Amino acid sequence: MADSPIPNVLPAELKAPERPFDPIGERPTMVRYGVLSYLSGMMFILYLDRYCISQAAPLIEKDLGISHADMGLVFGAFTLSYAVFEYWTGHLGDKYGSRGVMTRIVVWWSFFTALTGAVTGFWSLILVRFLFGAGEAGALPNSARVLKHWFPESVRGRIQGFVTTFMMVGGAAAPFASQQLFNVFGWRWSFVLFGIIGLMWSIAFYLWFRDTPKEHPSANEAERRLIAGTIDPDLPPHIESEAMAPDLAEVTAPQDPHPAMPWELVLHNRNVWLLAFAMATMSAVAYALLSWYPTYLQEARGVTKDNSGILASLVLATGAIGTMLGGWLNDWTLRVTGSQRWGRTLQSLVGTVLCAIGILLGVSADSLAWSAIFIAIANFGVQLQVPAWWSCATKISGRHLGGVFGLMNMVGAVG
């Protein structure tokens, strides 16, 4: 038998038992990695469509005759609608499954991405971006639901890190890719092209995806057992969090197909509010960088449009490194310590310190190069925390993951 991945210094109850014999005797299928590919693609498009407007902001302001303050209101309209609809769309996934809900999400936001290219003034732009934000709301809670159903807990940190890495890659690619399209097609037709990409994803996803391994015709019994943890190759499923929160899964009877949100328990749960506050601090930095950094480079640092796209993409790419490393650290600390609580807390603390130092030094540096380096460190720090946050949110939410995740992310968006 393979050696236990848990060090011998741990108590006996935390040591891995021998890997159980698989009576089925068949190799698990790989459908879960197809799910991973679809989710990663959606995350890339999510941030590409959300932040391509950041590179377009100076062009839009000039064409529509609006100011920086007006563009700030446009960004705020997105944030407002995203926050308002985040919980409700996440809860829809809990009630009706993520397949149809996620398809609706991507179709909606893709339509309004394309429609951005048809705006004629400030009010039409602010309306379109408000509706665009309502469309994107719920994408992350429903993605968390999908990952919970399709991957065992022992690898979920790495998987969540991988998925959010593509989200960061989309955000990092947005300035450079957008500017190249603007140079060829102009900003209006570029938004149409971005919208078409999402619509194509929606069709393919709806035709192939199923909410659970049991429903997917290509997933065999061995893969379903692996996902359930009975033949988990990395970590025995009995290692749990240290009473991080009451299990919301126990509030509703298992046979109820449309579980009601246990509001009293949720609103009195300390960990829900702590995670919501943590998301607010992370979101504040992430939104500022992804929404305004290209404009900051052009207006405050005198960087040309083309070069601002390249530099912004390089700086924002450190977020992808942060999420990938954060996902690996999340699972590594669990294997080494057997503790979800302390490993994830330490990971978040390190990320917060790096972010704070990077922001302070980045805005005060006289050199453009040093400023970019420090801002890159800040972006790395904030994204290092994301996989740990996702894992904690998934753990405490039980079968109400879409709604509780959406609620915490809603508070984060407001922050």
How many Cα atoms are found within 13 Å in the side-chain-facing hemisphere of 268? 5
* Model pLDDT, residue 361: 95
CA separation, residue 197 to residues 48, 113, 174 (Å): 10, 10, 14
Is 102's pLDDT higher than 90? yes
* Model pLDDT, residue 258: 57
* Model pLDDT, residue 335: 77
Higher pLDDT, 275 or 60: 60
CA 261, 265, 266, 272 dihedral sign is negative
Is 33's pLDDT higher than 50? yes
pLDDT tier for residue 395 given thresholds of 50, 70 and 90 = confident
Least confident of 92-96, 101-105, 376-380: 92-96
Whether the Cβ atoms of residue 239 and residue 233 lie closer than 8 Å to each other:
no
pTM of this structure: 0.76
* Model pLDDT, residue 146: 94
Q: What is the mean pLDDT of the chain?
A: 83
| Cα 45 to Cα 336: distance, rounded to the nearest angstrom | 35
Torsion of CA 245, 249, 253, 256, to 10 degrees: 140
* Model pLDDT, residue 32: 95
| Cα 262 to Cα 252: distance, rounded to the nearest angstrom | 8
Q: Which two tokens stand for residue 276?
A: 């919501």
* Model pLDDT, residue 139: 93
Is 29's pLDDT higher than 60? yes
Find where tokens 């990971």 sit: 347
Ramachandran assignment for 142, one of left (phi > 0), alpha (psi -120 to 50 degrees), beta (any other): alpha
Least confident of 148-157, 259-268, 357-366: 259-268
Is 414's pLDDT higher than 80? no
Is 12's pLDDT higher than 60? no
Is 300's pLDDT higher than 70? yes
Backbone angles phi, psi at 262, to 5 degrees: -80, 80
| Cα 298 to Cα 289: distance, rounded to the nearest angstrom | 14
Q: For 333-382, how does the pLDDT look when each residue is reduced to its tens digit (9 = 90+)?
A: 777 777 667 777 888 889 899 999 999 999 899 999 999 999 999 999 99
What mean pLDDT do residues 296-309 have? 87
Whether the Cβ atoms of residue 43 and residue 171 lie closer than 8 Å to each other:
no
Is 65's pLDDT higher than 60? yes
Q: Which two tokens stand for residue 415?
A: 């922050």
Q: For 174-196, how does the pLDDT look when each residue is reduced to its tens digit (9 = 90+)?
A: 888 999 999 999 999 999 999 99
| Cα 206 to Cα 83: distance, rounded to the nearest angstrom | 26
What mean pLDDT do residues 392-401 have? 76
Is 214's pLDDT higher than 60? yes
Whether the Cβ atoms of residue 397 and residue 405 lie closer than 8 Å to each other:
yes
Domains defined for the chain, CATH in brackets: 32-213+220-228+262-414 (1.20.1250.20)
CA-nearest of 185, 149, 150, 147 to 164 is 147
3-state secondary structure 343-411: HHHHHHHHHHHHHHHHHHHHHHCCCHHHHHHHHHHHHHHHHHCHHHHHHHHHHHHHHHHHHHHHHHHHH
- By percentage, how much of the chain surpasses pLDDT 70? 85
Higher pLDDT, 229 or 372: 372
Is 245's pLDDT higher than 60? no
Q: Would you give the DSSP letter of residue 214?
A: G
